[in-house]
Structure 1
Amino acid sequence: MMSNFYISSFIFFMSGSLLFLMSLIFLYYDISFLVEWEICSFNSSVILMAVILDWMSLIFMSFVLVISSMVLYYSSDYMNGDVNSDRFVILVTLFVLSMMFLIISPNLVSVLLGWDGLGLVSYCLVIYYQNVKSVNAGLLTALSNRIGDVFILLSISWMLNFGSWNYIYYYDYFFNSYDYSIICFMVMFAGMTKSAQIPFSAWLPAAMAAPTPVSALVHSSTLVTAGVYLLIRFSPMLFFSKMNSVLLLIGCLTMFMSGVAANCEFDLKKIIALSTLSQLGLMMGILGAGYPLMSFFHLLTHALFKSLLFLCAGCYIHGLFDNQDIRYMGSLTMSMPYTSACLNVANLSLCGFPFLSGFYSKDLILELYSFGFLNMIIFFLFFFSTGLTVMYSFRLLYYSLIKFFSFNSLSNFIIGRDMYFGMFILLLFTIFGGSLLSWLIFPIPACVYLPFGLSMLTVMVILGGLYFGYLLYLLDFSSVNLCNSSFSINFFSSMWFMPLISTNFTSCVGLTVGGLYSSFMDYGWLEYYGAQGVYNFFIYFIKQYLSLFDYNFKTYLMMFSLFFVFMFLYIIL
């Protein structure tokens, strides 16, 4: 009897292959389909279920499905001892379907359904290991993404001014009004929360509490790329409303912050998560610089090598009895040569090593930055952050593969065949996917003519990153007591205090303000003039009324007769 892992993996792989072939046809003939189904009409506002099928949505869906199929195949061995494996498969399937719903939606209302589906299912996956750390990470993830959901809702309500929620109608017709800028700002803010840009970066490393296959899926092609994909779709409006300059600055700062933090981190999965954050900053930055197609190209190549990187990390964690500290690793090339080779290829692709998938997008992005008219600060941040990427990648390789093995004798490096097969397919994609995508998306090669110094700057940055990564390994931050260290080390190693701001500070301020509001308003003025005030007034009125008549019927008759006498005299006189 076949496992649900194998069945769902086979269905996803075949569907992804079919969609990839369809995307080639759509790309070659330049076809786009927009299908609309009117659900209901309310006072000139039409609720539509719309689907857009073009080469961009089809090729992205094919990547999501193929990577999901390999992750599920890998999970059949990784999650072998899990008693709730069927629940895991259902959650991953719902996660993938929510992402596909978001990809094919040109309508903000239907985008919200996929957007909320990603947020809800990601919470269920992050808390899959039911402990306190997972619950805290899941709440941080869900509440951070909830801010973006609110801004999507606000943009839907604001789009009522335009008459339609289909954002593709506004590609060629721009409104010279502040409404347009407000909608672009709201969508940009929502994309920043989903793609964990500053100041919403704290949830992405915290989401590593999920199982490693889920991390491979989330950080390669689904949850964190949803914001980038939505902003790529909104790019014409972003450029018209001049919001792209804000996006450029935010992306550069996110790259720099995550690169510095990854060089001070010792958790294997968090280092890879921070590298994802760095690449998301790169995508946002190149999108803000005016190259949405390059941002989409890097999104696809990044999905290939990042999923492989996480699967290799899962093999290491599996072999070291769920230990994720890189200081307890070392000489893993002797024990796990195949996994180490895959990790090396994925890491070199992340660094932009020539002719791997990451090289084709990353090198072109840096050369376009050198070619463009950009601020010197932005230019410096981009190249310096690229050097930081090479630094933490080489530091990770040195700690896990080169130095002496420092774990105890309890190690089990026997990895199942299913895990190896899933990694093998992604290894092929990592090696050949970048060149294939480069020829498909850019049939006419992009020629960037630069002076010799600028053209060699990328190579010098990579070599400098290798050297400084080795120096970082020699420095050995593990011997630095962060409690007694300088403010700068604490600041840079803790993501600019963003985890503290997102958890302790926000909860303290929220609870304090909520407590003051509750004491002053709910239990104070609202109670005094509201329910209790009305109750006390009626009690006082009834008491006065009863004391006046004192339950005496004769007094009531006397007062009644006096009233009629006075009325009679008033009428006569």
Structure 2
Amino acid sequence: MFINLYIYSFIMFKLFLIFLLMSFMMMYLNMSWMLEWMMFNFNSINVEIFILLDWMSVLFISVVMLISSMIMLYSMIYMEGEIFLSRFIKLVILFVLSMVLMVMSPNLISILFGWDGLGLISYCLVIFYQNYMSFNSGMVTVLCNRIGDIGLLMAIGLMFTYGSWSIYILNKKISLILFMIFLGGITKSAQIPFSVWLPMAMAAPTPVSALVHSSTLVTAGVYLMIRFNKIMIFSGVDKILFYISVLTMFMSGLMANFETDLKKIIALSTLSQLGLMMMILSLGLKLLAFYHLLTHAVFKSLLFMCAGIMIHLMNNNQDIRLSGKLNEFIPFTMISFYISSMALMGFPFLAGFYSKDLIMEMIYMMNLNLFMMWFIILSLSFTVSYSLRLFYYIYFGEIKSGFMYYKEDKLMNLSMLVLLMLSVMCGSLLNWMFFFDYNFTFMKFSMKMLTLIMLIFGIFIGLYFWVKDMMFIYFLSFFLSSMWYMNYMFHIIYKSLNNYGEEGFKMDKKWVEFYSKKVLLNTIEDMMIYKQGNSKGLKIYMFIFILIFMYMSMVLML
């Protein structure tokens, strides 16, 4: 089985190199390939599968392949001794293939194949460890995502009247279709009010979390909105998206300052960055959003890899209050965690700095509401505060629980080293690739330094959270750490559905099963009587035979 993992990792790494070279070639030659396969036509409707390969989709596939190959190497040691390892490998490969199919598709029908594949396989991966917590998390994940899937299905139904499912036929008049696609995008990327499922999906194994939160599943919604961005700006949906995304950034950043679960803090940081991507998308800068999407994917996968090793060291304990001085036991992992967290904060000249600083500069140049501007900057300062709070507990706290003897593995370190180098370099490399011919942004020195000043302000917020134990305002901290009671809102929504399901189950149990069983038993009994010479049994037997014969002949005629 480990040989298979080696092979899969090697193949994915080779695909990464091939797709990366292809994207460079396509970008500089300004070319793209489109393949079209018509499955069947019905009246004037052509059911087609499109594959669009342009530099954007090919570059994104190359990043997905790179992260997947490193996670495969990491899983060889992390999942060692797992009974169902073969199932895990197959699910991860199917997950990556679903994402690739979704990325290459400009057609809503072919997008749906990859989209539903992501939803179904993510459910299987969340419930991989079979316990009640995983089951509940999996159900919340799949039910929240189905709302977005319904939006996509309704968009397909509405586009049926236009004769094609290609995104290129859409224009600014079809606002209802665009709203349905927007619903699918915000659900998959866990924007408010569908943010509940993202921290709960942490019940999956850590390698899956690293894959889901960096380059697959949650980024599917952002990528869909990047593809539809040009049309979204004309439809009025962009204003709704702006307010939702900024509120998501603020809520997730504030919540992460009160959270004590290591993986949930990193998941909430993903939610904050997704809000930032959606916010810049709503302002019409899709290339900037794509740039931040790629840089974020690299350091976020590294963060989750480091978190998995820490959890193993802490005897599968995820509470950061029980950890401390981990750098004495796993030094390379903690160096990687430190650098990737600094990249997340936007520390100068690391990967996250180039994309976040450019995003903020473009926002300063726009004519935005001052209140929303300060909201955005405060949300960014929360990124620094929760990262520093995490540093305080992990580096400077006292270890308060028994830990396993854990020695760092060379193979895991190799997979993390590749992502560590990219966390330092990929921001500048992609900046030279994307914006080599763009004009510079000129602004006042005070405006230029505003982002840096607010990040320093975030350090003081983090210091306040260290000094003040926020448990003295228990109800406020519980409110802030439970996603503003959004999970209870979903409980209210689904309660009525559950009640209907319960009544339906009772009806099924009382009526359908009982009477169908009774009719079947009577028929068998009559057939048995026929053998003993009863004509009533013969009539029923002949009646059933005629019904089956008529059904089969109709099928053959069709």
TM-score normalised over the length of structure 1: 0.86
How far the C-alpha of 1:2 sits from its partner, in A, is 5.3
How far the C-alpha of 1:501 sits from its partner, in A, is 1.9
Aligned residues of 1:32 and 1:52 also touching (Cα < 8 A): yes
Counterpart AA for 1:300: L
Counterpart AA for 1:50: F
Query: Which of residues 298, 302, 305 is equivalent to 2:299?
Result: 305
SS at match of 1:156: helix
Identity %: 47
Counterpart AA for 2:183: F
How far the C-alpha of 1:64 sits from its partner, in A, is 0.3
Cα distance 1:460–1:165, how it changes in 2: closer, same or farther (>3 A)? Answer: same
Could you tell me how far apart the structure 2 residues matched to 1:187 and 1:205 are?
Answer: 24
- Partner deviation per Cα, 1:405-440 (whole Å, 9 max, x = no partner): 3333x3323122221111101101111111111111
Aligned residues of 1:349 and 1:430 also touching (Cα < 8 A): yes
Aligned residues of 2:302 and 2:340 also touching (Cα < 8 A): yes
**Mapping of residues 440-459 of structure 1, within 5 Å:** 440-459=433-452
Q: Which residue of 1 aligns with 2:44?
A: 44
SS at match of 1:129: coil
Query: Which of residues 315, 325, 329 is equivalent to 1:335?
Result: 329
Could you tell me how far apart the structure 1 residues matched to 2:341 and 2:128 are?
Answer: 28
Could you tell me how far apart the structure 2 residues matched to 1:147 and 1:237 are?
Answer: 22
Cα distance 1:442–1:169, how it changes in 2: closer, same or farther (>3 A)? Answer: farther
SS at match of 1:272: helix
2:89 maps to 1:101? no
Q: Which residue of 1 aligns with 2:113?
A: 113
Could you tell me how far apart the structure 2 residues matched to 1:389 and 1:510 are?
Answer: 37
- Partner deviation per Cα, 1:4-40 (whole Å, 9 max, x = no partner): 2111111111011100110000011111111111111
Query: Which of residues 399, 407, 413 is equivalent to 2:406?
Result: 413
- Partner deviation per Cα, 1:488-524 (whole Å, 9 max, x = no partner): 433222111112222x3233343356678999xx89x
What is the Cα-based RMSD across aligned positions, in Å? 1.8
Aligned residues of 2:306 and 2:337 also touching (Cα < 8 A): yes
Q: Which residue of 1 aligns with 2:492?
A: 505
How far the C-alpha of 1:87 sits from its partner, in A, is 1.1
Could you tell me how far apart the structure 1 residues matched to 2:385 and 2:454 are?
Answer: 10
Q: Which residue of 1 aligns with 2:455?
A: 462
Aligned residues of 1:49 and 1:110 also touching (Cα < 8 A): yes
Query: Which of residues 464, 467, 472 is equivalent to 1:471?
Result: 464
2:250 maps to 1:263? no
Cα distance 1:398–1:18, how it changes in 2: closer, same or farther (>3 A)? Answer: same
SS at match of 1:434: helix
Q: Which residue of 1 aligns with 2:431?
A: 438
How far the C-alpha of 1:404 sits from its partner, in A, is 2.6
**Mapping of residues 176-191 of structure 1, within 5 Å:** 176=173, 180-191=174-185
Aligned residues of 2:172 and 2:235 also touching (Cα < 8 A): no
- Partner deviation per Cα, 1:138-194 (whole Å, 9 max, x = no partner): 111111111111111100010122221110344xxx353xxx100110000000110
Q: Which residue of 1 aligns with 2:415?
A: 422
- Point out where structure 2 has 5 or more consecutive residues left out of the alignment: 516-558
- Point out where structure 1 has 5 or more consecutive residues left out of the alignment: 532-573
Q: Which residue of 2 aligns with 1:366?
A: 360
Q: Which residue of 1 aligns with 2:53?
A: 53
Q: Which residue of 2 aligns with 1:291?
A: 285
Worse overlay, 508-517 or 32-41? 508-517
Query: Which of residues 197, 213, 218 is equivalent to 1:219?
Result: 213
Q: Which residue of 2 aligns with 1:86?
A: 86
How far the C-alpha of 1:49 sits from its partner, in A, is 1.2
Counterpart AA for 1:361: S
2:20 maps to 1:12? no
Worse overlay, 257-266 or 377-386? 377-386
Could you tell me how far apart the structure 2 residues matched to 1:187 and 1:175 are?
Answer: 14
SS at match of 1:469: helix
Counterpart AA for 1:192: I
Query: Which of residues 314, 323, 333 is equivalent to 2:308?
Result: 314
Cα distance 1:116–1:474, how it changes in 2: closer, same or farther (>3 A)? Answer: same
- Partner deviation per Cα, 1:229-261 (whole Å, 9 max, x = no partner): 001000011011121111111110000000011
Could you tell me how far apart the structure 2 residues matched to 1:50 and 1:5 are?
Answer: 31
SS at match of 1:447: coil
How far the C-alpha of 1:330 sits from its partner, in A, is 0.9
Q: Which residue of 1 aligns with 2:139?
A: 139
Aligned residues of 1:321 and 1:412 also touching (Cα < 8 A): no
Could you tell me how far apart the structure 2 residues matched to 1:287 and 1:451 are?
Answer: 25
Worse overlay, 411-420 or 326-335? 411-420
Aligned residues of 1:256 and 1:278 also touching (Cα < 8 A): yes
SS at match of 2:484: coil
Counterpart AA for 2:308: G
- Partner deviation per Cα, 1:461-510 (whole Å, 9 max, x = no partner): 11111121121022233x4473xx3xx433222111112222x3233343
How far the C-alpha of 1:441 sits from its partner, in A, is 1.1
Could you tell me how far apart the structure 1 residues matched to 2:41 and 2:370 are?
Answer: 52
Counterpart AA for 1:455: K
Query: Which of residues 237, 243, 247 is equivalent to 2:241?
Result: 247
SS at match of 1:353: coil
SS at match of 1:13: helix
Aligned length: 510
Aligned residues of 2:322 and 2:398 also touching (Cα < 8 A): no
Could you tell me how far apart the structure 2 residues matched to 1:264 and 1:231 are?
Answer: 31
How far the C-alpha of 1:102 sits from its partner, in A, is 0.0
SS at match of 1:497: helix
Query: Which of residues 373, 390, 402 is equivalent to 1:379?
Result: 373
SS at match of 2:40: strand
Could you tell me how far apart the structure 1 residues matched to 2:498 and 2:137 are?
Answer: 19
Aligned residues of 1:51 and 1:106 also touching (Cα < 8 A): yes
Could you tell me how far apart the structure 2 residues matched to 1:511 and 1:35 are?
Answer: 44
Cα distance 1:108–1:357, how it changes in 2: closer, same or farther (>3 A)? Answer: same
Q: Which residue of 2 aligns with 1:492?
A: 480
**Mapping of residues 187-198 of structure 1, within 5 Å:** 187-198=181-192
Aligned residues of 2:172 and 2:231 also touching (Cα < 8 A): no
Worse overlay, 1-10 or 279-288? 1-10
2:156 maps to 1:164? no
Q: Which residue of 1 aligns with 2:521?
A: none
SS at match of 2:80: coil
Could you tell me how far apart the structure 2 residues matched to 1:446 and 1:136 are?
Answer: 50
Worse overlay, 465-474 or 385-394? 465-474
